[in-house]
């Protein structure tokens, strides 16, 4: 814990650091150009709120949030399913495990942008009635879910593996079935342990929603690009960047909060 | 008095890879009997207990529980395990559940009791063993002795026919051993059938109806504690006990 002195020193050094960075930027030869191209107040405002000829980055950003939220819900469930399939023991279930392994290997290996192209441009070409006439956003979400589920399944699996065998032995010795031991004893501990890497992946996912724009959807990054092309000014990129950062920070702090809360609840007043 | 045989272990062999841990173990247990397994670390005590609870499968030999063979074909492993309680050296409480939930999980999920019944059962046991004030605590907040007592209560909440105790005081600080041994002694007095792997020779001498000395995967000698501790027949038993006495543990 930082004392008052610690807080004072850290604030002072932070201020000094920011001032130094500011001075270096202000004194650099291209300082005025940087200010004009990236931080011009009018451009910042216009790109954020939009104008008659350019889209609003803020409005477009709502689409990112929508994509992120829907994709995340699917990923959490599908990835858990894959991780559980990989944890099913016994030779009978080998084919099932094999499918899960092949799935994670493939979708962790292919760059997201290629999956986006294949789903977004390939599936409509298949001419399947149910699947082939969806919106770009839907294809984008499907691609994100396919790729991220593979990653998140591995995160879950690491969590499941990290729960000590003795916990399973204790649960089974009480007469709990394999599945109930997994559900009540292993999974709750596993999920708690993987919350930080899980949320880390979701921060990645939030950013990767920008890639859905390659299928034509106008989300924040695409809107910023349109603005820049129209106005020859990059303030729109700064606006989009700030928006992305603004939603990842609460997620990061929320992660920290969850970790601390869990630790406190279990250990408050512990005498070792 | 005709004793009812509850457990028969006959010629049990168990290897891990090339390492032979159990090399033909024979051991019987009557209902209400307390048998202590003694022997050096690595002599196979834990493995024998784990085999009886089917946490390990035996390679050869047979184990019969309440008359039925359990070593090979068991239709309902979970039901069998719910009738045999097991307490571990490292407690193995569930760290994400409070004491109450640790105890009610088995009765609710394995025995199908409803929450209220399971809770009443747990409360009665906690009350009896002076742990009522701990029911909302998480395991991390308890001392080792308290954790192990909770682990025993957790096993008892299943109302098992027999308890297997695997060096339950070995992970405890010396000053915490007594509270756990006292609890076990109470259970013995009540007639709980127990098979206890232990390094606490004084305790074994005191509580056991029979003591079995396990060495290199075989039971070399068994009998009433007075005989095993005072006049051991086997040379290896004698040497083992001499080392224990030299270490001041008897």
Under the banding of pLDDT at 50, 70 and 90, the label for residue A263 is: confident
- Measured between beta carbons, the chain A residues lying within 8 angstroms of B82 are 174-175
What does the block give as tokens for B243? 């080392």
Query: Minimal Cα distance from A268: which residue of B?
Result: B141
Q: Helix A41-49 crosses helix A220-231 at what angle (to 10 degrees)?
A: 130
Mean pLDDT of chain A: 89
Is the predicted pLDDT of residue A270 greater than 50, yes or no? no
Chain B residues close to A170, C-beta within 8 Å: 86, 88, 92-94
3-state secondary structure of B68: strand
- Name the residue facing A170 among B50, B92, B158 (closest C-beta): B92
Cβ contacts of A188 on chain B, cutoff 8 Å: 96
Whether residues B85 and A169 touch (CB distance < 8 A) is answered with no
Measured between CA atoms, how close is B197 to chain A, in angstroms?
17
ipTM of the complex: 0.92
Residue B92 touches chain A, beta carbons under 8 Å:
yes
Taking the CA of residue A174 and the nearest CA in chain B, the distance in Å comes to 5
Of A174, A267, A270, the CB nearest to B82: A174
Q: Which residues pair with B19 in a beta bridge?
A: B16
B149 with B183: CB under 8 angstroms?
Answer: yes
For residue B167, give every residue at least 6 positions away whose Cβ sits within 8 Å of its Cβ, in sequence order, or none.
B45, B46, B89, B197, B198, B199
In chain B, which residue's Cα lies nearest the Cα of A168? B92
Shortest Cα distance, chain A CAs vs residue B36, angstroms: 20
Q: Is B79 on the interface with A (CB under 8 A)?
A: yes
The model's confidence at residue A267, banded by pLDDT at 50, 70 and 90, is low
The answer, yes or no, to whether residue A72 has pLDDT greater than 70, is yes
Cβ atoms of B47 and B195 within 8 Å: the answer is no
Residue A269 has a pLDDT of 45
With tokens 């201020």, the residue in question is: A15
The shortest C-alpha distance from B194 to chain A (Å) reads: 15
Name residues whose C-beta falls within 8 Å of residue A142's C-beta, 6 or more positions apart in sequence. A119, A123
Task: Name which of B209, B201, B196, B206 is nearest B163 in CA terms.
Answer: B196
Nearest by CB: A173 against B86, B94, B96: B86
Supply the pLDDT for residue A266. 66
For chains A and B, count residue pairs whose Cβ atoms are closer than 8 Å: 77
User: How many residues are listed for chain B in this entry?
Assistant: 250
The yes-or-no verdict on residue A47 having pLDDT over 90 is no
Q: Which of A110-114, A144-148, A212-216 has the lowest mean pLDDT?
A: A212-216
Name which of A32-41, A178-187, A200-209, B9-18 the model is least confident about. A32-41
- For chain A, say whether B143 makes contact (Cβ under 8 Å): yes
Average pLDDT over residues A193-211: 90
Mean predicted lDDT score pLDDT of chain B: 92
Query: Which of B49, B93, B99, B106 is the best mutation test for A, with the most CBs of A within 10 A?
Result: B106
Q: State how far the Cα of A184 lies from the Cα of A198, in Å rounded to an integer.
A: 20
pLDDT value for A67: 95
Residue keyed to tokens 């792997």: B197
Q: How far apart are CA B146 and CA A172, in angstroms?
A: 22
Residue A12, pLDDT score: 92
* Closest Cα in chain A, distance from residue B195 (Å): 15
A226-257 per-position pLDDT tens digit? 999 998 999 999 999 999 999 888 888 888 88
Q: Beta-strand (E) ranges in chain B?
A: 5-16, 19-30, 34-38, 60-65, 68-69, 84-87, 162-166, 194-197, 210-215, 218-223
Which of A174, A267, A268 lies nearest to residue B110, judging by beta carbons?
A: A174
| Rg from Cα positions in chain B | 18
Residues of A in contact with B85 (CB under 8 A): 173
What secondary structure does DSSP assign to A107-161, as a single string?
Answer: HHHS-HHHHHHIIIIIHHHTT-TTTTT--HHHHHHHHHHHHHHHHHHHHHHHHHH
From B110, B138, B141, residue closest to A176, measured CB to CB: B110
Cβ-defined contact of A267 to B154 (cutoff 8 Å):
no
pLDDT for A272: 37
Q: Tell me: pLDDT of A189 over 70.
A: yes
Phi, psi of B21 (to 5 degrees): -100, -45
Q: What is the pLDDT of residues B47-58, one digit of tens each?
A: 999 999 999 999
- Residue B212 main-chain phi, psi, to 5 deg: -120, 130
pLDDT at B42: 85
């Amino acid at each position: 814990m930082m004392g008052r002195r610690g807080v004072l020193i850290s604030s002072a050094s932070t201020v000094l650091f920011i001032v130094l960075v500011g001075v270096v930027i202000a004194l650099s030869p291209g300082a005025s150009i940087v200010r004009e191209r990236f931080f011009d107040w009018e451009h910042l405002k216009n790109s954020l709120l939009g104008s008659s000829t350019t889209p609003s980055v803020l409005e477009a950003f709502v689409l990112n949030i929508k994509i992120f939220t829907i994709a995340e819900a699917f990923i959490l469930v599908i990835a858990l399913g894959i991780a559980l399939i990989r944890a099913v023991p016994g030779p009978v279930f080998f084919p099932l495990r094999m499918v899960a392994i092949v799935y994670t290997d493939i979708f962790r290996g292919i760059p997201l942008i290629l999956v986006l192209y294949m789903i977004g441009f390939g599936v409509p070409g298949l001419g399947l009635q149910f699947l082939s006439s969806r919106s770009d956003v839907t294809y984008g979400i499907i691609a994100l879910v396919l790729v991220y589920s593979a990653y998140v399944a591995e995160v879950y699996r690491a969590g499941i593996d990290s729960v000590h065998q003795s916990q399973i032995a204790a649960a089974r010795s009480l007469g709990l079935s394999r599945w109930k031991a997994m559900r009540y004893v292993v999974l709750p501990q596993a999920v708690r342990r993987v919350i930080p890497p899980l949320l880390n992946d979701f921060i990645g996912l939030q950013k990767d929603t920008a890639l859905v724009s390659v299928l034509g959807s106008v989300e924040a990054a695409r809107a910023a690009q349109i603005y820049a092309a129209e106005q020859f000014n990059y303030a729109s990129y700064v606006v989009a960047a700030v928006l992305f950062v603004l939603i990842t920070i609460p997620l990061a702090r929320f992660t920290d909060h969850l970790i601390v809360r869990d630790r406190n609840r279990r250990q408050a007043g512990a005498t070792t | 008095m005709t004793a009812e045989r509850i457990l028969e272990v006959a010629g049990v062999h168990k290897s891990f890879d090339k390492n032979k841990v159990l090399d033909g173990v024979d051991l019987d247990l009557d209902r209400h009997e307390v048998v202590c397994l003694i022997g050096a670390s690595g002599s196979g005590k834990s493995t024998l207990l784990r085999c009886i609870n089917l946490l390990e499968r035996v390679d050869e030999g047979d184990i019969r529980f309440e008359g039925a063979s359990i070593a090979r074909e068991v239709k309902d492993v979970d039901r069998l395990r719910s009738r045999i309680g097991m307490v571990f050296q490292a407690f193995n409480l569930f760290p994400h559940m409070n004491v109450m939930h640790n105890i009610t999980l088995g009765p609710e999920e394995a025995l199908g009791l409803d929450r209220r019944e399971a809770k009443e059962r747990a409360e009665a046991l906690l009350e009896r063993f002076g742990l009522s004030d701990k029911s909302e605590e998480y395991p991390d907040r308890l001392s080792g002795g308290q954790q192990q007592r909770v682990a025993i209560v957790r096993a008892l909440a299943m109302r098992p026919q027999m308890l297997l105790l695997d060096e339950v005081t070995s992970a405890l600080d010396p000053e915490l051993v007594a509270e756990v041994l006292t609890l076990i002694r109470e259970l013995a007095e009540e007639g709980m059938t127990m098979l206890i792997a232990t390094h606490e020779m004084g305790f074994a001498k005191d509580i056991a109806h029979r003591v079995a000395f396990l060495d290199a995967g075989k039971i070399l000698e068994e009998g009433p504690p007075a005989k095993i501790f005072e006049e051991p027949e086997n040379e290896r038993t004698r040497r083992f006990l001499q080392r224990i006495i030299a270490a001041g543990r008897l």
